[in-house]
Amino acid sequence: MSGHSKWSTIKHKKAATDAKRGKAFTKLIKEITVSARDGGGDPTANPRLRTAVANAKSVNMPNDNIERAIKKGTGELPGVTYDEISYEGYGMGGVAVMVDVLTDNKNRTVAEIRSIFTKAGGSVGENGCVSWMFDKKGLITVLAEAVEEDELMEIVLDAGADDINMSDGIYEIKTPTGKLELVRDAITAKNLKIESAEISMIPQSTVKLDEGDAKKMLKLMDALDDQDDVQKVYANFDIPDDIMEKLDI
| Residue 247 is assigned to a structural domain of this protein | no
- What is each CA distance from 27 to 84, 114, 196, 197, 233, in whole angstroms? 13, 20, 14, 15, 12
d(CA 207, CA 96): 9
State whether 125 and 218 are in the same domain. Answer: yes
| Residue 174 is assigned to a structural domain of this protein | yes
d(CA 101, CA 110): 10
Which positions ≥6 away from 217 have C-beta within 8 Å?
91, 92, 93, 95, 209, 235, 237, 239
| Residue 242 is assigned to a structural domain of this protein | no
State whether 39 and 151 are in the same domain. Answer: no
- Whole-model pTM? 0.88
- What is each CA distance from 137 to 6, 22, 102, in whole angstroms? 17, 27, 20
For the chain, the helix, strand and coil percentages under 3-state DSSP, each to the nearest 5: 50, 25, 25
| Residue 47 is assigned to a structural domain of this protein | yes
| Residue 35 is assigned to a structural domain of this protein | yes
- The tally of domains found in the chain comes to 3
d(CA 236, CA 221): 11
State whether 139 and 107 are in the same domain. Answer: no
State whether 29 and 138 are in the same domain. Answer: no
Tell me the pLDDT tens digit for each residue of 59-88.
889 999 999 999 999 999 998 899 999 999
State whether 166 and 176 are in the same domain. Answer: yes
Domain finish residue from 32, 50, 74? 74
State whether 109 and 222 are in the same domain. Answer: yes
Domain finish residue from 38, 55, 74? 74
State whether 138 and 119 are in the same domain. Answer: no
CATH number at residue 114: 3.30.70.980
State whether 146 and 118 are in the same domain. Answer: no
Confidence of residue 1 (pLDDT cuts 50, 70, 90): very low
State whether 88 and 32 are in the same domain. Answer: no
Whether the CB-CB separation of 204 and 171 falls below 8 Å is answered with: no
CATH number at residue 22: 1.10.10.200
Q: What is the 3-state secondary structure (H, E, C) of 21-34?
A: CCHHHHHHHHHHHH
| Residue 249 is assigned to a structural domain of this protein | no
| Residue 161 is assigned to a structural domain of this protein | yes
State whether 70 and 178 are in the same domain. Answer: no
Q: Note the pLDDT of residue 3.
A: 44
Looking at the chain, which runs of residues are DSSP E strands?
83-90, 96-103, 123-124, 134-143, 163-167, 170-175, 196-203, 207-208, 230-235, 237-238
State whether 153 and 213 are in the same domain. Answer: no
State whether 111 and 210 are in the same domain. Answer: yes
Tell me the pLDDT tens digit for each residue of 188-229.
999 999 988 999 999 999 999 999 999 999 999 999 998 999
Domain that holds residue 60: 6-74
Tell me the pLDDT tens digit for each residue of 114-165.
999 999 999 999 999 999 999 999 999 999 999 999 999 999 999 999 999 8
